[in-house]
Amino acid sequence: MYAAAEVLGIFAVHGGNASFSIPPSNKMVKNNNIRFFAKTSSTLCRCVGGDVFSVTPSNNSDVDYLGQSTKGDLNVKLEHLEAFGIDGHGALEGPIEEVARTEAREAEGLLKDLGIPSPSSSRNSARGIFCSRTLNLRSISAIGYDMDYTLVHYNVMAWEGRAYDYCMENLRNMGFPVDGLAFDPNLVIRGLVIDKEKGNLVKADRFGYIKRAMHGTKMLSTRAVSEMYGRELVDLRNESRWEFLNTLFSVSEAVAYMQMVDKLDDGAILPDLGPLDYKGLYKAVGKALFWAHVEGRLKSEIMSKPEQFVEPDPQLPLALLDQKEAGKKLLLITNSDYHYTNKMMHHSFNRFLPNDMDWRDLFDIVIVSARKPEFFQTSHPMYEVVTGEGLMRPCFKAQTGGLYSGGCAQMIEKSLNVHGDEILYVGDHIYTDVSQSKVHLRWRTALICRELEEEYNSLIDSRGHRESLVELINQKEVVGDLFNQLRLALQRRSKDRPAQTLAATNMNDEDLTESMQKLLIVMQRLDEKIAPMLAADGNLFNSRWGFLSRADLWDKSHLMRQIEKYADIYTSRVSNFLNYTPFMYFRSQEQNLAHDSYSHYCSHPNNDEFSS
């Protein structure tokens, strides 16, 4: 009888469509380091995947116990197992727990022999794909991709640095003082929020409470943050005040704005520009950056020297090729125009594709100048790009292999005959790509965040620092618990009431006071040690703002809350899909609640210690 892993071994060696002879022996055979048992037979077997397996079609699909569609699942045809001498029912004899344990052990060994990393090893790495909401990739019929900072990754210092330079040049032409200013990408990180009323850049936790803030380019103290924002929450729905830094494209604008806030505070901005407050200043900077894009000089420079701005990923085109060959319809939906898109994609893809493929060969439909987020929200005319020069004509339905400009998501759904959660959209912009495709269309979503790799490694390198910090905080908590109990005992005794226990009631006044004094000194010294360590937490990622995903030692950042809310999965780069296969079933992990740690240590839910 074969184990499932051994059957996989046969297919791994000979291939799903290969003919091979079964060796005439019952002994274990080694072939290319893959082990399998051979049944006594000299029969020549030809195993064709389509004859052995069936794929669950959409009209015959169900939902599994996690609520995911079974469309695209592979089913074995039991009658074909006889070719291997396998009894489909006999192979499952015994308790399933034991069967599964054996199969899992052998599968791990086979993966190791094949030299293929397991999904678990990929998941526990900086290149992992992390799951917020369970996603069966097999049930996905179409995968859409954004281009900029998704399929094409730019060198942030180069791309955003040049965007900053053009912005500064435009500000100078508008009369603003920009001499002496230089692009500093370390001033900001993705996920921060600009307070346009106060000229501040802030970092909020998942609830919207502001934890860190910078006015201009000067970080504010914890006390100043508390005094300024103690009664306020970040509300991203108030767009007139708050501006969320959704993407790496926000870096150049934020750096320019915070530097110009310093100029405004210093009185360096001439009154000829009119009375300017922080909101007006933000509009001026935004206008200068907008014209840097509209003028076309920035993109023309990038198109002429893509090697200076683009960081190619040789594995990325291969990940998409796997998805296409697995039957997924691939879409490119980008706000960039046709000429820029063609240049960037050709530079990033063509040299890494096999058999002289062109990047266009990967995609069933390409949409340029998509005007996201409106692409997901409303209906717009669609035009077919019919010449290499970009000439267009109106059209009403997209065709496979077509190149189009504009249009809307509903047109794509209708053209492909796929809807809602049959489509996965992958992008780097939380609002434009991920939030709106989910809110309006219920597409499944994936967020690309390249900074995750640096954050992941920084968290690992900070493990010792964080463990020491947690140990000190726990020590303070224990000391503080005793101090608070003694303080309560002193309070009750001062009112001629008995303390919590007889021993506390009988405690000598002098001993009580002396113990409290010692404990208070210990806590004060612990605070002196904890405060700078807490402020330094995350310095390995960014010395001003700390970690991307965290607002303090334990809580999540506002960015992380947005990711969890709108992105079903998230990862650092598209090529990470290469380690998971197009058939992966992503399962969300357990979400810890505040009371989980307490219930873990309780021996019984009705603990007598607290029931009296």
Dihedral angle computed from the Cα positions of residues 406, 412, 414 and 417, in that order, rounded to the nearest 10 degrees = 170
If DSSP codes are grouped into helix, strand and coil, which group holds residue 547?
coil
Buried b (16+ CB within 10 A) or exposed e, 349-360: beebbeeeeebb
pLDDT in tens, 168-195: 999 999 999 999 999 999 999 999 999 9
Q: pTM above 0.75?
A: yes
Find, among 527, 529, 594, 523, the residue nearest to 555 by Cα. 594
CATH superfamily of 131-140+312-455+571-612: HAD superfamily/HAD-like (3.40.50.1000)
Map 126-141 to HEC letters.
Answer: CCCEEECCCEEHHHCC
| Residues across the chain | 612
Reported as a single tens digit per residue, the pLDDT across 69-121 is 888 888 877 666 666 556 555 556 788 888 888 888 888 889 888 888 877 77
Q: Model confidence over 532-569: pLDDT tens digits?
A: 999 999 999 999 999 999 998 889 999 999 999 999 99
Cβ(572)–Cβ(448) below 8 Å: yes
| pLDDT computed for residue 384 by the predictor | 94
Mean pLDDT by 10 residues, the chain (612 residues): 45 38 38 36 40 82 88 79 58 80 88 82 87 95 97 95 95 95 95 97 96 97 95 94 94 96 94 89 95 86 96 96 97 96 97 95 97 94 88 90 95 93 96 95 97 95 94 96 93 89 86 93 96 92 95 92 96 95 91 72 54 46
Partners of residue 569 on adjacent β-strands: 131, 446
d(CA 225, CA 205): 13
- Helical segments of 220-268, H only: 222-229, 250-265
DSSP character at residue 205:
B
Give residue limits of the domains in the chain.
4-116, 131-140+312-455+571-612, 156-306, 456-570
Across-strand partners of 371?
A: none
C-beta neighbour count of 108 within 10 angstroms = 13
Q: Specify whether the CB–CB gap between 437 and 567 falls below 8 A.
A: no
Q: List the one residue out of 259, 278, 260, 258 whose CA is nearest residue 269.
A: 260
